[in-house]
Amino acid sequence: MNTLLINDDAQGVRTITLNRPEALNAVTEEMTSELSAALKDAAKTKGIRCLVLTGAGRAFCVGQDLKSLRESAEKGAPMDFAAALRQRYNPIIGRLADMPMPVLAAVNGVAAGAGWSLALAADLRIASDKASFVSAFSKIGLIPDSGMTQTLTRLVGPSRALEIAWLSDGISAELARQWGLVNQVVEDARLAEATAELSRRLAASATRALEMTRRAVRAALANDLSAQLEYEAQLQGAAGATRDHQEGVAAFLAKRAPAFTGE
The site for ligand T3D (CB under 6 A) is made up of 23-24, 26, 62-67, 81, 84-85, 110, 112-114, 134, 136-137, 140, 142, 145
Nearer Cβ to ligand T3D, position 110 or 186? 110
User: Closest CB to ligand T3D among 136 and 209?
Assistant: 136
For ligand T3D, give the closer residue by CB, 140 or 229.
140
Q: Where would I find the beta strands (DSSP E) of the chain?
A: 4-8, 13-18, 50-55, 59-61, 103-107, 110-112, 124-128, 132-134, 171-172, 184-186
Question: Can you give 126-167 as a three-state secondary structure string?
Answer: EEECCCEEECCHHHHCCCCCCCHHHHHHHHHCHHHHHHHHHH
Backbone angles phi, psi at 15, to 5 degrees: -110, 125
Least Å distance, CB 47 to ligand T3D, is 33
Minimum gap (Å) between residue 231 Cβ and ligand T3D: 33
Strand, helix or coil for residue 106:
strand
CB of 141 vs ligand T3D, minimal distance in Å: 10
**Contact present, 44 and 98 (Cβ < 8 Å):** no
Nearer to ligand T3D, 23 or 239 (CB): 23
Residue 64 Cβ vs ligand T3D, minimum distance, rounded to whole Å: 4
- Cβ distance to ligand T3D smaller for residue 33 or 223: 33
Strand order across the beta sheet in which 110-112 lies: 59-61, 110-112, 132-134, 171-172
Least distance to ligand T3D, CB of residue 62, Å:
4
**Number of H-type helices and E-type strands within the chain:** 12, 10
Give the Cα separation of 260 and 263 in Å (integer).
8
